[in-house]
Amino acid sequence: MPAAAERAFVAIGANLGDAEATVREALDALGRLPGCVLVARSSLYRSAPVQASGPDFINAVAELQTTLAPRALLQQLQALEQAHGRVRTVRNAPRTLDLDLLDHGGREWRDEALVLPHPRLHLRAFVLRPLLEIAPQLALPGVGPLAPWLAQVSGQAIERI
């Protein structure tokens, strides 16, 4: 990977179909995206939907090294979601695959399509637990160190598979 590569973290979730297989396939596919190398992958976790209904989610987080700019990486993630049958209907609806760009190079970014770091990542156990598994010392702009936030989400049901 060229020296211009940046560290990015992607949350993966699914709760329709064979969600566990879909999450595993998505983890593999992230490493095949142009300009990306899969550096680390968390364990898989099962979590109850947050502010939604439907079956439990299977979740994970991946760390990438990427030469793609944030918007370009987001477009690749959305194409991967669509390839897995993702249909965007209502917010927090059950889904075949959900890929959220959590962080890209530790920068703050805000436009009509993307906010970095992800504005709710520190409020969701299904993101924090797998993210801290692979990046326990991670701190993000506007959020700070992530580990202390685990206490805030301790009431959210999540289990490592």
Active-site amino acid positions: 86, 95, 98, 100
Q: Cα separation of 103 and 115, whole Å?
A: 9
Q: Which of 125, 123, 52 is nearest to 94 (CA)?
A: 52
**E strand or H helix that includes residue 93:** none
What is the helix (H) or strand (E) element at residue 14, kind and residue range?
strand 6-14
The answer to whether the CB of 43 falls within 8 A of the CB of 23 is no
